[in-house]
A and B are shown apart, each in its own frame.
Chain A
Amino acid sequence: MATPRRIKVNESGKVTVVTFNDSKIIDEAEIQEFGQELYDLVEREDRKKIVLNFGNVEFLSSAALGKLIGFDKRVKQHKAELILSNIRPEIYEVFAITKLTKLFVIKDDEADALAAI
């Protein structure tokens, strides 16, 4: 797989930890790219335990939320696990307004996510 441009991928034991390179996720081309890079983790690389660390993310649009939902569907199709972590309060509010807090498992920080997955 080519080196991803929108995300960074690290391993913590059997868990794949993903961080985002962009602090603002609004550009449509970048959202397409970041979505594909996430999809590849489960569809091409068959990773089964994934933590998305949102520590770098200061802003994201509803289009980015749509990609995350698409990723969650693929994770479930491939019987993998996904946990979100390190979400800033203002970003968490976006998840809360759209009720995506019901769809995603969200932990305060990466250590909590790694312990739970």
Chain B
Amino acid sequence: MSEHGWSWSAEKRLPSTKGAHIPLMEEILQQLQQLGWSRECRDHFGIEMALEESLSNAIRHGNCYDTSKHVLVECKASPDRFWLRVTDEGNGFKPKEVPDCTADENLECPGGRGLALMKAYMTHVEYNKRGNCVTMEKTRTC
């Protein structure tokens, strides 16, 4: 992911408790709004979705609500780009082993939708080898 003239950045450590990510999500979304990302635009909705899914996955599936573990959130934004990295302290997972939730036979499966939504809304999504860190970027389209 390339260097860029970022207007705002933040780094936070979240506890692994239910809902711990929600205030940070709101803070990031407010920053984006101040940078011109309209709440009326699909991009804003998509970033909200990617934040919700990546942060709640890290707390729930990554750290398994273990209060001795934290989630590191690194975020950068400018009027036309958004960048996010979420790292948990769990064992990681292999994204390719997650069943495709959009396949007819998996429509009723419990998981995989968060990953599909992040991929659909973000311009680029990648995982580290261990599978405990997701990095994503969004280029503004509206």
Contacts and interface: CB of A to CB of B under 8 A. Distances in A.
A61 B22 CA distance: 12
| Interface of A: prevailing SS | helix
B3 interface: no
Given A66-B110, A69-B108, A99 B53 contact: no
Interface in B82-119: 101-102, 104, 107-108, 110-111, 113-114, 116-117
B120 interface: yes
Interface stretch (B42-50, B68-76, B132-140): B42-50
A66 B107 CA distance: 10
B80 interface: no
B19 interface: yes
Contacts of B60: 28
Given A63-B56, A94-B49, A102 B104 contact: yes
A99 B18 contact: no
B100 to A, nearest CB: 9
B107 A27 contact: no
B117 A98 contact: yes
Interface residue range, chain B? 20 to 34
A97 B45 CA distance: 14
Interface residue range, chain A? 20 to 34
Nearest to B106: A99
Interface in A17-64: 26-29, 59, 61-63
Interface string A102-117: 1100000000000000
A94 B117 contact: yes
A98 B19 CA distance: 23
A62 B120 contact: no
B114 A62 contact: yes
Contacts of B45: 59, 90
A34 to B, nearest CB: 15
Contacts of B120: 97
Contact of A28 (B18, B102, B110): B18
Per CB-CB distance, the 3 closest pairs between chain A and chain B, nearest first, are A62-B113, A99-B102, A62-B114
28 contacts: A26-B22, A26-B52, A26-B56, A27-B19, A28-B18, A28-B56, A29-B19, A59-B45, A59-B49, A61-B52, A61-B56, A63-B56, A73-B108, A90-B42, A93-B42, A94-B49, A94-B117, A97-B116, A97-B120, A98-B101, A98-B102, A98-B113, A98-B116, A99-B101, A99-B102, A99-B104, A102-B107, A103-B107
